[in-house]
Amino acid sequence: MWFDNFSKKNCKNCYACIRVCPVNAIEIKNEQARIIEERCIVCDECYRACPQKNRLSKSEVPVVKHYINNKEVVVASIAPSFAAVFGENSHKIPSVLKHLGFSYVEETLVAAQPIIDEYFKYINKDDDKNYITTLCPSIINLVEKHYPDLIENLIPVISAFACHGRIIKKKYGEGAKVVFIGPCLGKKDESRFENSVDAVITLEELQRWIQQENISFEDFEESSFDAISHYNRVFPFVSENTDYFFDSTKNKEVVSVDGSNDCIKTINAILNNRVSNVIFDMNFCESGCLRGSGIVDDGASSYERRKNIECYSKKCEKLYSDKTDNSYDEILSKVDLQRNFESKYIPLKEPSEVELREILKSMGKFARMDEINCKACGYKTCRDKAKAVFNGYADTSMCLPYVRQKAENKANVIISATPNLIGIVDKDLCIVEFNPAAQNFFQVSNDEARGVPVIMYLDEDKFQQVRDTRKNIIRDKIELYDYDGVLEQNIIWLEENQIYIWIANNITKEEKKEKELQKMKINSINMAQDVINKQMMVAQEIASLLGETTAETKVTLTKLKKLIEEEGQR
């Protein structure tokens, strides 16, 4: 496959690619964006919109380097819009490319005349029918994959890209490697169906290659291409120069259409028979090849790029006016210019109305008024999104208003259900909102509290302190005598939102229990002290009695002892 899919590492699930994809060719699976190849028209809008710049196309520069290193004959076919990018250095491009290793360097423009001649046949048709040019591969993909009813309106002619590849193979041999260098990412896709082109690199990839080789244009001289075209270089904007390209006696009007929006609107106009007898020169990129998907956005305007091509073209007229190159005349006469187109349309499965309603309900769309069609998910309507969900290309979580509402509802339920007191205070220290628990504590409704200075309920100095010091207050115990309550509060300042968040626990009951417990402890201590005092009095009384009896006992024993002694002396 010529392209990579979105990087899982870099994909941030932002849906930017989905919103810009004109044909809804990107699906979301497991919060990962993925290109649906059978629907993709290779316009590169997704890459341009991706904030992570997920590069989808694989560079074929390594393939070209491989050809060069193998000493093969490598021929560069470079689109005329190269001058829009390289400006005053355009005449040095042949020298630079040969320095990079190309054997021959030619302008794709040398193969343009046969294509224009074929277009002229359709311009002169007297059939009142509308036709679409087939130079832009994204337009071809758009019709084949999404508007198959218009396949018969595509002019069945190959592009100059393919025509030049075929004549190069005949001129330099079938073994020669043809490398197309152009402004279009879609040519990488087209080359899969064109055997005459071996590799495609974009102008952006060429610029990167030149930078990697540290090439300075100042080191190179101006030189001519190996096949000189006498064709006007304004080919990137054919329809704006129809008097130059086509005879003025044409039967059909030739109209330029560029940009995805106008191209799709024009296609619908053709389908609905609102226009007739017109040749539409369609380019899916805005400003056509001047702002192609393979050109880096360097800030240059379409006007500046147009002037670059015009200046280059005028200089070529002066340099090559006396030179003729008929080397391709005979080959061109033998090249098959016809191309067949076929339907690649894969219709989406259509859900029944019941199935559709069930999907819509899963996205919070219970009534028509809920289908706001905001296009944030990348689909035009909520019903289109529901069809994509039915086909497995989308997920209900892609509905951003629904996801946001769901998240807000959850947050509101949590804030409403929590027993914590929660308040929001603005930078001017006025109340924005109280949750139900705070309203109940302060005996006030939200409408009554809203806009009231916070000092009416709380100490505003602490709020100001938090903002001034940038230090949040955590678990600060306060007693509110007016409300006969005790709170443990937290005050948090949100700099980004310029608001205070006040969260408090009502610990009044706990404080009352603590006081009662403290009182009980004191009473218990007092009771213990009384018991101890009484015990001490009893002890003292016992001691007194014991003292008296002990004295009496001693006197008696003394008398008894004396009596015994007297008897012994007798």
Percentage, residues of the chain above pLDDT 90: 49
Minimum mean pLDDT range among 127-141, 148-162, 506-520, 545-559: 545-559
Chain position carrying tokens 């939200």: 446
pLDDT of the residue at 230: 60
Residue 21 has pLDDT above 70, yes or no: yes
Cα separation of 329 and 110, whole Å?
10
pLDDT of the residue at 511: 82
Percentage, residues of the chain above pLDDT 70: 88
Give one word for 475, left, alpha or beta, with left for phi > 0 and alpha for psi -120 to 50. left
Q: Mean pLDDT over residues 393-405, rounded?
A: 77
Residue 503 has pLDDT above 80, yes or no: yes
pLDDT digits (tens, 9 = 90+) for 449-477: 999 999 999 999 999 999 999 999 999 99
For residues 83, 88, 94, 98, the Cα torsion angle rounded to the nearest 10 degrees is: -120
pLDDT of the residue at 237: 47
Q: What are phi and psi of 24, to 5 degrees?
A: 50, 55
pLDDT digits (tens, 9 = 90+) for 191-202: 988 899 999 999
3 burial (CB, 10 Å; 0-12 / 13-18 / 19+) is middle
pLDDT of the residue at 410: 67
Q: Does residue 76 contact residue 98 with C-beta atoms inside 8 Å?
A: no
Residue 398 has pLDDT above 80, yes or no: no
Cα separation of 72 and 124, whole Å?
44
Cα separation of 430 and 287, whole Å?
54
Minimum mean pLDDT range among 9-18, 245-254, 303-312: 245-254
Q: Find, among 137, 187, 191, the residue nearest to 166 by Cα.
A: 191
Residue 13 has pLDDT above 80, yes or no: no
pLDDT digits (tens, 9 = 90+) for 324-334: 666 777 888 78
**Secondary structure of 123-158 in HEC code, one letter for each residue:** HCCCCCCCEECCCCHHHHHHHHHHCHHHHHHECCEC
Minimum mean pLDDT range among 229-233, 476-480, 501-505: 229-233
Q: Domain-by-domain residue ranges, the chain?
A: 59-333, 349-417, 418-546
> Which segments of 413-472 are extended strands (E)?
421-426, 431-434
Q: Does residue 132 contact residue 150 with C-beta atoms inside 8 Å?
A: yes
Give 319 or 133, the one with higher predicted confidence.
Answer: 133
Q: Mean pLDDT over residues 250-278, rounded?
A: 93
Instruction: Give one DSSP letter per residue of 461-475, joined into a string.
Output: HHHHHHHHHT--EEE
Cα separation of 552 and 570, whole Å?
28
Q: Mean pLDDT over residues 510-530, rounded?
A: 79
- Looking at every residue in the chain, the average pLDDT score rounds to 86
Q: What is the CATH number of domain 418-546?
A: 3.30.450.20
The rounded Cα 99 to chain-centroid distance in angstroms is: 39
Domain 349-417 has CATH 1.10.15: yes
Given strand 253-258, what is the order of strands in its sheet? 131-132, 278-283, 253-258
Q: Does residue 268 contact residue 162 with C-beta atoms inside 8 Å?
A: no
Q: Does residue 89 contact residue 246 with C-beta atoms inside 8 Å?
A: no
Cα separation of 181 and 82, whole Å?
8
Give the chain's length. 570
pTM value is: 0.71
pLDDT of the residue at 243: 53
Sign of the torsion angle spanned by Cα atoms 203, 206, 212, 213: negative
Give one word for 328, left, alpha or beta, with left for phi > 0 and alpha for psi -120 to 50. alpha
Q: How distant, in Å, are the alpha carbons of 194, 410, 421 from that of 439?
A: 74, 20, 8
Cα separation of 425 and 438, whole Å?
13
Q: Does residue 133 contact residue 279 with C-beta atoms inside 8 Å?
A: yes
Q: Give the pLDDT band of residue 116 (cuts 50, 70, 90).
A: confident
Q: Mean pLDDT over residues 112-140, rounded?
A: 91
Q: Mean pLDDT over residues 246-273, rounded?
A: 88
Residue 177 has pLDDT above 90, yes or no: yes
Give 556 or 222, the one with higher predicted confidence.
Answer: 222
pLDDT of the residue at 92: 95
